[in-house]
Amino acid sequence: MVPAKEVGGDWFDFFLLDPERIGFVLGDVSGKGVPAALYMAIASTLLRAAALHHASPGACLASMNESLVERHAEGMFVTLFYGILNTHTGVLEYANAGHNPPYAFSPDGKVRALRERCGPMLGVFEGLQYPARNMELQPGEGLLVFTDGVTEARNRNGEFYGESRLEAYLAASASRPVDELVCGLQADVERFEASAPRADDITALALRRRVPAGK
Phi, psi of 151 (to 5 degrees): -75, -25
Q: What is the pLDDT of residues 156-206, one digit of tens each?
A: 999 999 999 999 999 999 999 999 999 999 999 999 988 877 777 889 999
Give the model's pLDDT for residue 19. 93
Going from the N-terminus, what domains does the chain have, and what CATH number goes with each? 10-208 (3.60.40.10)
**pTM, 2 dp:** 0.92
For 43-54, the pLDDT digits (tens) are 999 999 999 887
SS3 state of residue 180: helix
Q: Computed over its alpha carbons, how large is the radius of gyration of the chain?
A: 17
Contact 136, 92 (CB under 8 A): yes
